[in-house]
């Protein structure tokens, strides 16, 4: 295939990638967006194969990856999607590191001069640095999300100073690598090792419940790693695709930081979620709350005109999405207007609740984002909170609170609130939730799936 045709094919693939992002902006067009992405990737991979000489090796690797991917896709539950996404991000970062190592070892095979120019060294440094950080950071995110490592922030004295020192040392090794007349393997290995360590140190102070921002941030990192390697290899497709992923991930991270009232820079530098998390949940006074049964909750909802359901991470843990869909259906049959309110950072990854509700085949028009539905809470008869805590905490409106200024779903403005939780434990911010102690609130304790199934039975009676 000629160079002009290759460039044209890559351009077409890039257009499909852009259409894919556009399609993924709405649940109604998400299926079409995925299709565009698949077509674009097929064109990109097919075009790359036409300029590949070792077909046996490439096709063998593709076959191995396809088999492993198919097995993983069939076995992984929808509730385990956050850790799967983190695992996939780690592979992108590791691939960038391996490509950089191969390019430094044998630059001629990548179409580069035997003596790497400073510009190529800079590109390889950036790809290696971001890729290594993405890999180690994603591994920590995977371990936290899968429960193999405590989700609590790991904080120690001088953490930020250590990170800064390591970053400066890594830059020093990078400069040594840039300006060496020959391939400086000691400098390259040292800066790569420090990058791996930095990725680890940046993610460990982030609490497991703050993972939505981490996942989108690592997604951005993986894109920039691919773009950096694309520059080194002179591959426009890698540059375009990596830039799309990097920029979209960065924008999503910024949006989610706003949704949690956190500075974007603090996420990039690490330590996000460490401020205020240690504050106690109790203020020394004994508070009283009203509890009830699933049958009591079912009676309230079946006699209401409008119900808003607020899903949280507890819904994902209990795998209660199908039971919730059944509850919504039986309430609809009784003439109740049922809708779902989604907070941007509910769950453990961007769009986590949207994914779960879509998997349960809940109609898209019933699922509304925070900005769309917040004004409706004051006119709603019953709000059902399932496994959510800080995203409905009125303390966000109280000056001096650790979560002050964080946009929340205003469930406290509804006429009646039903909260399904396993216990009265505080949320990840370490704060008591005043919503639970309001006269209008009824607590229903238990596993979310079992409680909702009991609600369905009671509504059907």
How many CB atoms are located within 10 Å of the residue 110 CB? 19
How far apart are alpha carbons 250 and 392 in whole angstroms? 26
The 3-class SS string of 89-100 reads HHHHHHHHHHHH
Sequence-distant (6+) residues with CB within 8 A of 105 are: 183
Q: Is 376 a catalytic residue?
A: no
How far apart are alpha carbons 340 and 373 in whole angstroms? 9
The H or E element containing residue 150 is: none
How far apart are alpha carbons 89 and 86 in whole angstroms? 5
Which residue among the candidates 210, 381, 390, 447 is catalytic per the annotation? 390
How many CB atoms are located within 10 Å of the residue 405 CB? 11
How many CB atoms are located within 10 Å of the residue 366 CB? 15
Residue found by looking up tokens 């924008």 in the block: 251
How far apart are alpha carbons 302 and 300 in whole angstroms? 6
The H or E element containing residue 311 is: strand 306-311
Q: Answer yes or no: are the C-beta atoms of 305 and 337 closer than 8 Å.
A: yes
How far apart are alpha carbons 146 and 153 in whole angstroms? 15
Longest dimension (CA), the chain: 82
Q: Which residues are catalytic?
A: 390
């Amino acid at each position: 295939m000629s160079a002009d045709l290759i460039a044209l094919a890559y351009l077409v693939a890039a257009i499909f990638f852009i259409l894919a992002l556009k399609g993924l902006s709405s649940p109604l067009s998400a299926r079409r967006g995925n299709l565009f992405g698949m077509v674009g990737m097929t064109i990109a991979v097919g075009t790359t194969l036409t300029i590949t000489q070792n077909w046996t090796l490439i096709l063998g690797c593709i076959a191995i990856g396809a088999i492993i991917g198919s097995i993983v896709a069939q076995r992984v539950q929808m509730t385990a999607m956050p850790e799967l996404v983190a695992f996939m991000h780690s592979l992108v970062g590791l691939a960038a590191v391996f490509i950089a190592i191969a390019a430094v070892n044998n630059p001629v095979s990548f179409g580069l001069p035997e003596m790497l120019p400073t510009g190529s060294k800079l590109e390889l440094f950036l790809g290696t640095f971001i890729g290594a950080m993405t890999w180690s950071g994603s591994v920590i995110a995977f371990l936290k999300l899968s429960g193999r490592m405590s989700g609590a922030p790991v904080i120690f004295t001088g953490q930020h100073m250590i990170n800064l020192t390591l970053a400066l040392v890594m830059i020093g090794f990078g400069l040594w690598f840039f300006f060496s007349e020959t391939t400086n393997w000691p400098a390259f290995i040292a800066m790569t090792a420090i990058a791996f360590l930095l990725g680890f140190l940046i993610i460990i102070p982030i609490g497991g419940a703050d993972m939505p921002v981490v996942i989108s941030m690592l997604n951005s990192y993986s894109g920039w790693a691919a773009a950096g390697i694309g520059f080194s290899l002179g591959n426009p497709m890698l540059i375009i695709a990596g830039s799309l992923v990097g920029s979209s991930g960065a924008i999503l991270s910024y949006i989610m930081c706003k949704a949690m009232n956190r500075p974007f820079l603090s996420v990039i530098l690490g330590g996000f979620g460490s401020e205020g998390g240690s504050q106690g949940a109790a203020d020394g006074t004994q508070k009283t709350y009203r509890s009830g049964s699933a049958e009591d909750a079912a009676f309230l909802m079946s006699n209401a005109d409008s119900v808003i359901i607020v899903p949280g991470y507890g819904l994902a843990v209990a795998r209660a999405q199908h039971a919730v869909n059944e509850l919504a259906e039986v309430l609809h049959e009784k003439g109740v207007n049922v809708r779902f309110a989604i907070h941007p950072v509910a769950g453990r990854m961007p769009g986590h609740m949207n994914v779960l509700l879509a998997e349960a085949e809940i109609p898209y028009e019933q699922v509304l984002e925070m900005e769309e539905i917040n004004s409706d809470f004051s006119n709603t008869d019953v709000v059902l909170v399932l496994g959510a805590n800080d995203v409905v905490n009125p303390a966000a409106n109280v000056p001096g609170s650790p979560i002050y200024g964080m946009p929340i779903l205003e469930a406290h403005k509804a006429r009646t609130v039903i909260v399904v939780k396993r216990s009265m434990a505080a949320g990840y911010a370490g704060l008591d939730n005043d919503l639970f102690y309001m006269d209008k609130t009824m607590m229903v304790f238990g596993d979310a799936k079992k409680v909702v199934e009991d609600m369905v039975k009671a509504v059907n009676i």
